[in-house]
DNA sequence: ATCCGGCGGTGACACCTGTCATGGTGGAGT
DNA sequence: ACTCCACCATGACAGGTGTCACCGCCGGAT
């Protein structure tokens, strides 16, 4: 029996995935959690073989959880399942040590299959997404440029961002300018949108 | 047997919900679709009792589908199940004729129950969300203000928006100013964010 | 008949933004 | 040591943005 943990903040989706997987004879739901920071303890307590993690979660995001899990419980393999097929997500998930990456609009039958492959030591990656990830390339943004874009995402003014990051307004404008240029956008809002869509934030 | 249709653009989630519901003895999955514009035909063909609709879907959004369904197949009741608990979504869904409204992080056990209640003619609404919906009030935006905010969402300049809507730049600035004022924001980006969070777009 | 509100527009003004030049610091690599 | 680059900052400038006053048109309500 493959012992699986499900981590997804949407209770209904989590329960539905549990129902889907419980129909497989060789898979057993060992644990279900709704927050990223509950995963590691649950994996240890329940002796989990494969952890199925969403990325968008309260507490800790799935990628951070993956990194911690690889370090502290290396026997447990990780499958990241996410709503958004952002190229950067795939890259970061694999870099953090995930064994597989799926988007939520892939066929339902494939989930159990992916879990079996991962459990047997293989890697599972959505092929079309892998191609897109290679084409899109890595994030061109520096850490600070990323910070500024994140702070700009919810629509504050330069002064707000400067206060938020304890920077001078001129510096913020410079970082924004650099980020706009690197994303080939024309406004900060467009830059934030493009960076988000690429999974760079 | 209650004949149910599932409409959700995420294949994996749709399949998982089907698995969840197929465990209920009195519920039968009559159809599954991944696009809004496939719902009405499927409901007619498969003689569906209750349609479970996501809001965010390609083709037609769930609220528009609800309205069409009420008009063309009044015997079929509608349960809207969505990721985002936007107050405006609830209001618009109910106005369009939905019998129920659930967010995807409510407990999984409640879904089958909601379907049964709806099938027996009752209405099902998340209580906490209903309160929030009343508190938030209806959208204060006029149709044009809404259009301009939608066009402004992806970060274009005033000139872009004006071109997109065939308006003068001055007019666009006036609508933006009105929208910013009504949403109590300070920039167009903030206004777009606030309006989106309220489900006004 | 009158009023009201949404729609579309013009023009002006203060202010914010995006860009560029320029400068300094400190860490990483050769 | 030297180069390179990320980081932080200042100042200046053109152009974009948000606000306001004011205009007309139209359709619906009183």
Q: What is the pLDDT of residues A20-64, one digit of tens each?
A: 999 999 999 999 999 999 999 999 999 999 999 999 999 999 999
Q: Given this model, what pLDDT does residue B201 score? A: 82
Q: Given this model, what pLDDT does residue A140 score? A: 86
Strand C close to B167 by CB, under 7 A: yes
First to last CA, chain A: 38
Is residue A27 within 8 Å of A21, Cβ to Cβ?
Answer: yes
Euclidean distance between CA atoms B19 and A136, whole angstroms: 36
Rounded average pLDDT over A125-144: 81
Contacts of B20 in chain A (CB under 8 A): 15-16, 19-20
Give one DSSP letter per residue of B81-129, joined into a string. EES---HHHHHHHHHTT-SEEEETTS-THHHHHHHHHHHTT--EE-HHH
Q: Which nucleotides on strand C sit less than 7 A from a protein beta carbon?
A: 6-12, 16-22
Q: Given this model, what pLDDT does residue A130 score? A: 84
pTM of the model: 0.88
Q: What residues pair up with A77 in beta bridges, in sequence order?
A: A50
B61: left (phi over 0), alpha (psi -120 to 50) or beta: beta
CB contact under 8 A, A11 and B192: no
Q: Given this model, what pLDDT does residue B126 score? A: 85
Output DSSP code: residue B34.
Answer: S
Q: Given this model, what pLDDT does residue B135 score? A: 67
Of A14, A105, A155, the CB nearest to B185: A155
CB contact under 8 A, B107 and A156: no
Q: Given this model, what pLDDT does residue A131 score? A: 80
Contacts of B197 in chain A (CB under 8 A): none
Alpha helices in chain A (DSSP H): 11-22, 39-46, 62-72, 87-95, 109-119, 127-136, 143-152, 158-165, 169-182, 188-197
Spanning CA of B161 to C1' of D20, the rounded length in angstroms is 21
Q: A84: pLDDT confidence band, cut at 50, 70 and 90?
A: confident
Positions of chain B with pLDDT under 70: 135-136
By the 10 Å C-beta count (0-12 exposed, 13-18 middle, 19+ buried), A56 is classed as middle
Rounded average pLDDT over A79-88: 91
Q: Given this model, what pLDDT does residue A201 score? A: 83
Euclidean distance between CA atoms B128 and B111, whole angstroms: 17
Q: Given this model, what pLDDT does residue B130 score? A: 84
């Amino acid at each position: 029996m493959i012992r699986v943990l499900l981590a997804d903040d949407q209770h209904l989706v989590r329960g539905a995935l549990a129902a889907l997987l419980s129909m497989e004879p060789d898979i057993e739901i060992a644990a279900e959690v709704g927050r990223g920071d509950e995963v590691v303890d649950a994996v240890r307590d329940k002796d989990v073989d494969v952890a199925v993690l969403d990325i968008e979660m309260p507490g800790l995001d799935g990628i951070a959880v993956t990194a911690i899990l690889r370090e502290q419980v290396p026997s447990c393999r990780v499958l990241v399942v996410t709503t958004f097929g952002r190229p950067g997500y795939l890259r970061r998930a694999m870099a953090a040590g995930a064994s597989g990456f799926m988007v939520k609009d892939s066929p339902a039958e494939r989930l159990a299959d992916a879990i079996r492959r991962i459990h047997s030591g293989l890697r599972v990656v959505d092929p079309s997404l892998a191609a897109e990830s290679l084409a899109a390339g890595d994030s061109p943004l520096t850490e600070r440029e990323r910070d500024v874009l994140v702070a700009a995402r919810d629509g504050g003014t330069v002064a707000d961002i400067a206060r938020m990051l304890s920077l001078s307004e001129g510096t913020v404008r410079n970082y924004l300018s650099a980020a706009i240029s690197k994303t080939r956008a024309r406004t900060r809002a467009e830059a934030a949108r493009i960076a988000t869509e690429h999974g760079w934030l």
